Amino acid sequence: MAINSPKGIWWNEPLSKAEVVWIAIAFLWGLVMFFTMIYWHFGGQQNLSNEAYKIRPELFSERTEAMVEKYTVREENGIPVVHPPAGSEVYLIARQFEWWPILELENGKQYRFHIGSTDVQHGFSLQPVNINLQIHPGYEMVLTAEPNKTGEFPIICNEYCGLGHHLMVGRVNVVEPQ
């Protein structure tokens, strides 16, 4: 039984006009998407500029506990609620299966966030703002942000971190300036 095959080697055959047009369209679309990504990073104000620093988890915990001791205003279900002054360094610990502490920030004021894990990898997702970061043990993610709306904003872990992962919910309260 003979198989019908094209004459010669297929890649040596000339391209048809339709193939050339589709290759050109695909190439141009690829360029459009590439330059759109570059523009969107700088002009779209979508991506937060963040930094990552290597840090011992014990040192990160000490810094967070010092902030909590200094700025705690109350407790909710045994978790401290901290209200640091505008422009200050704000620390948030991810650990199985909680975000600690609860942050209370002022609307329209800028803060420098330090987010770190003391045990395993976690995913920081601030809803509905759609800020997503990977939080690795031994590193702190640092970003500058300015809340622009009052309310309660949940923090969820979007990286599986163990059996209690589904319970890992934290909170940021944004209030009017005092």
For residue 2, pLDDT over 60 is answered with: no
Q: How confident is the model at residue 171 (pLDDT cuts 50, 70, 90)?
A: very high
Q: Considering the chain, what percentage of its residues have pLDDT values greater than 70? A: 93
Q: Residues 115-129: pLDDT tens digits?
A: 999 999 999 999 888
Average pLDDT of the residues in 153-173: 94
- CB 85, CB 62: distance < 8 Å: no
Q: How confident is the model at residue 132 (pLDDT cuts 50, 70, 90)?
A: confident
> Which residue ranges make up each domain of the chain?
15-43, 50-175
- Residue 117's contacts (CB-CB under 8 Å, 6 or more residues apart) are 57, 93, 94, 95, 135, 136, 137, 139
Read off the pTM. 0.74
Written as six digits, the tokens of 13 are 């055959």
**How far apart, in whole angstroms, are the C-alpha atoms of residue 174 and residue 102?**
11
Please report the pLDDT score of residue 12 as a whole number: 79
- CATH code that applies to domain 50-175: 2.60.40.420
Q: What is the mean pLDDT of the chain?
A: 90
**DSSP string over 14-26:** PPPHHHHHHHHHH
Q: Residues 10-68: pLDDT tens digits?
A: 777 888 999 999 999 999 999 999 999 888 877 776 556 788 999 999 999 999 999 99
- Residue 100's contacts (CB-CB under 8 Å, 6 or more residues apart) are 64, 79, 80, 92, 93, 170
Please report the pLDDT score of residue 23 as a whole number: 95
